[in-house]
Amino acid sequence: MKRRSWAEPYKIKMVEPIRMTSREERERAIAEAGYNTFLLRSQDVYIDLLTDSGTSAMSDRQWAGMMRGDEAYAGSRNYYSLEAAVHEHYGYKHLIPTHQGRGAEHLLSQLCINPGDSVPGNMYFTTTRHHQEAAGGSFVDVIVNEAHDPASEHPFKGNVDLDKMRSLIERVGAERIPYLSLETNVNMAGGQPCSMENIRAVCALCHEHGIPVYLDATRAVENAWFIKQREAGFADRTIKSILLEICSHTDGCTMSAKKDSLVNIGGFLAVNDDALAERARNLVVVYEGLHTYGGLAGRDMEAMAIGIAESVQEDHIRARIGQVEYLGLRLMDAGVPIVRPIGGHGIFIDAARFLPHIPRERFPAQALAAALYVDSGVRSMERGGVSAGRDPETGENIFPSLELIRLTLPRRVYTQAHMDVVAESVLDLHEHPEQVQGLEMVHEPEHLRFFQARFVPMVPASASCGGIAAQSVRP
């Protein structure tokens, strides 16, 4: 069959030059950054796949919207555009804007969680769990077992395991469960979706016990795309209607608009409950700003309103997830161990299998992210033992089943040629994994340590004197 390619549904109107550095420059830069890609300067990065958060390219219409910012302290016109967009696309009754997703998580956690409560979720997310714990709750993972197996081809690895949810309710009692935090296209599982069938069933189960369900809607649009592709009965539905249905089963959401909604900053809390909305409007004033701007400029809210409408356009979401798939297939075809099926916002490489010679205590994913940067200037992110942190009770390191690096694709930013450069660099490292050495953590911040932790590389056993397995080279 003759090949018929598809391409991005836009053309490029403005360019931002990027610079390729030399290997020596990159070796110096990563050492200065303590082998933590979060601590690199962006000017030293060639292709930046650290995150899809706030890194998207805005459209000409969004930029035009920025010029229509109404910077009134109270009651900005742009707040009402945003309220209308959230109502039309997400369906919830009340909107409380926040500066980004974690602002909304903070409000929801403070308002709903009492000390000693259990807060179930389909796998943890770093900031979400942090705010739940800061409010005195403890996170309980209720995701299906397949989510913890990078090789499982389950089409909906984001699903909640209903038995795990039932047994939690039995064990602690519904009154000690303030809500279920239901994440769509589960980030830490590799961008894996929930099925509509599962969303309906888990919401019904929770509501039967009087437990509200709050969606982490950060990537709900991408989840809607997978439902359309994979779930019977949805092929002819629009992304817009699938998104609305997902939300309709739940009681509200926290949202990082820096992902699906195509803006560089912004987020919101949206709820249906009148009394909770009233309390949230009261609390947002303390932490973010007045309830009609929540830490955002008027222009940010206008860009977000336009971005929300663009995010559900079928050609946009096809190209966005299609680019992720292109990179994933190139790696998979060459035998690189990646989380399967290919997810929505990035490619997750199984660092434990990529670097089997590095023990978990030496942070193979952190080491792989640093090595990839040195090889090609591509910046990725660790999503494994460093991100998981320590058990708040025992103080021990948590080593989650998944030890991954994430190559996250900003929306509408890079081309297929950039994807080829990334794939070639990963393949080169995959041919010579023994060149990558483990790391020792030499600085560990107390909160969300992965952002600011510092490391030094271990030298291989053969190169160290004294015959100890491996030693770190402290600066």
Which whole-number Å values give the CA distances from 359 to 10, 70, 353, 356, 362, in the listed order?
45, 54, 11, 7, 5
User: Min. distance of Cβ 218 from ligand PLP in angstroms?
Assistant: 4
Query: Active-site residue 250, yes or no?
Result: no
Q: Show the site string, 344-383: x = touches ligand PLP by CB under 6 A, - = not.
A: ----------------------------------------
- Determine the Cα–Cα distance for residues 129 and 471; give it in Å rounded to an integer: 34
Q: Identify which of 144, 85, 110, 25 has the alpha carbon closest to the alpha carbon of residue 282.
A: 110
Q: Please report whether residue 190 would count as binding ligand PLP according to CB under 6 A.
A: no
Asked whether position 56 contacts ligand PLP by CB under 6 A, the answer is no
Nearer to ligand PLP by C-beta: 263 or 422?
A: 263
In angstroms, give the least distance from the CB of 381 to ligand PLP: 11
Please select the residue that binds ligand PLP; options are 26, 102, 249, 330, rule is CB under 6 A: 102
Output 65 or 346, the one with its CB closest to ligand PLP.
346
Rounded Cα gap, residues 351 and 405, in angstroms: 6
In the set 362, 383, 406, 412, the catalytic residue is 383
Asked if residue 258 binds ligand PLP (CB under 6 A), the reply is yes
Q: Indicate whether 100 belongs to the interface with ligand PLP (CB under 6 A).
A: yes
Cα-based distances in Å from 110 to 74, 103, 117, 125: 24, 11, 12, 17
Stretch that binds ligand PLP, among 99-107, 243-251, 294-302, 356-364 (CB under 6 A): 99-107
**Does 237 qualify as catalytic in the annotation?**
no
Q: How far is the CB of 267 from ligand PLP (least distance, A)?
A: 5
As given in the structure block, the two tokens for residue 456 are 């030094």
Count of residues that interact with ligand PLP, criterion CB under 6 A: 15
| Nearest distance in Å: CB 285, ligand PLP | 19
CA 458 to chain centre: 30
CB-wise, 125 or 225, nearer to ligand PLP? 125
Residue 259 annotated in active site:
yes
Which residue has the CB atom at the shortest distance from ligand PLP?
A: 101
- Helix (H) / strand (E) containing 140: strand 138-141
The answer to whether residue 295 forms part of the interface with ligand PLP (CB under 6 A) is no
Q: Rounded CA gap, 402 and 384, in Å?
A: 6
Q: Is 256 in the site for ligand PLP (CB under 6 A)?
A: yes
Q: Which of 46, 90, 124, 125 is catalytic?
A: 125
CA 272/CA 91 separation, integer angstroms: 9
Q: Is 287 annotated as catalytic? A: no
383 flagged as catalytic? yes
Residue 404: strand pairing partners: 350, 383
The yes-or-no answer on residue 292 being catalytic is: no
Q: Mark the segment that binds ligand PLP (CB under 6 A) among 96-104, 132-140, 220-228, 369-377.
A: 96-104
450 in contact with ligand PLP (CB under 6 A): no
Decide: is 195 part of the binding site for ligand PLP (CB under 6 A).
Answer: no
Active-site pick, 68, 77, 126, 200 = 126
Do the Cβ atoms of 98 and 255 come closer than 8 Å?
Answer: no
Of 112, 155, 154, 157, the C-alpha closest to 132 is 112
Q: Which is nearer to ligand PLP, 130 or 340 (by Cβ)?
A: 130
Tokens of 132: 């739940």
- Which of 10, 148, 53 lies closest to 345 in space, CA to CA? 53
Element of type H or E holding 229:
helix 220-230
Residues from 120 through 159 that contact ligand PLP (CB under 6 A)? 125, 127-128
Q: Contacts with ligand PLP in 207-226 (CB under 6 A)?
A: 216, 218
If binding is defined by CB under 6 A, does position 62 make contact with ligand PLP?
A: no
Per 3-state DSSP, what percentage of the chain is helix, strand, and coil (rounded to 5)? Answer: 45, 15, 40
Nearest residue (CB) to ligand PLP, 162 versus 448: 448
Contact of 440 with 32, CB cutoff 8 Å: no
Single residue of 36, 53, 118, 250 touching ligand PLP by CB under 6 A? 53
Catalytic residue among 10, 19, 73, 451: 73
216 forms beta bridges with 183, 254
Nearer to ligand PLP, 271 or 371 (CB): 271
216 as an active site residue: the answer is yes
- Residue 25 and residue 238: Cα distance in Å, rounded? 48
Q: Provide the 10 A C-beta neighbour count for residue 456.
A: 18
187 contributes a contact to ligand PLP by CB under 6 A:
yes
CB of 410 to ligand PLP, least distance (A): 13
Q: Number of C-alpha atoms within 13 angstroms, CB side, residue 311?
A: 31
Q: Which residues, including other chains, have CB under 8 Å from residue 240's CB and lie 6 or more apart? A: 89, 312
Catalytic residues: 73, 125-126, 216, 259, 383, 450
Residues that bind ligand PLP in the complex, under the rule CB under 6 A: 53, 100-102, 125, 127-128, 183, 187, 216, 218, 256, 258-259, 267
